[in-house]
Amino acid sequence: MNVNKARSISLIFLVLFFGAMMGTLLGELLGFLLPPGVVKDFFLTSVYFDLAGLFGNATGVVTIDLVMFVLKFGLEITINFASIIGLATAYYFLRFYR
């Protein structure tokens, strides 16, 4: 019997998300262990993406006022070299371990 073992998109997203989180945590740990210098700057220089760039407000929080209650949404993504290493490692596990 031939069973197609296709992965769901949610599993792929979840594994890549945790890979990026683990890479970022590894980068922060390296930040404590490495002495100041070029190598530390290389691993810890980050690029930030948040909702402020999409909606043009300074706080990065989207506010929806519905009179009875107010909804506030915020999202910030930080990417550094260590998080890219974590993403690559998670992709490796997804690709070669079934």
Q: What is the pLDDT of residues 5-53, one digit of tens each?
A: 667 888 888 888 899 888 888 888 888 888 888 888 887 788 877 766 6
Whole-number percent of the chain with pLDDT over 70: 83
CA nearest to 83, candidates 42, 27, 29: 27
Sign (positive or negative) of CA dihedral 55, 58, 61, 66: negative
What is the residue-averaged pLDDT of the chain?
Answer: 80
Q: Which residues pair with 38 in a beta bridge?
A: none
pLDDT at 1 over 50: no
- Average pLDDT of the residues in 77-90: 87
Res 3 pLDDT > 50: no
Mean pLDDT of 59-74: 82
State yes or no: pLDDT of 58 exceeds 80: no
Q: Which pLDDT belongs to residue 13?
A: 87
Q: Which amino acid is at 31?
A: G
Nearest to 39 by CA among 81, 72, 3, 4: 81
pTM for the model stands at 0.66
Tell whether the model's pLDDT for residue 72 goes beyond 80: yes
Is the Cβ–Cβ distance between 74 and 61 less than 8 Å?
yes
Count of other CB atoms within 10 angstroms of residue 12:
13
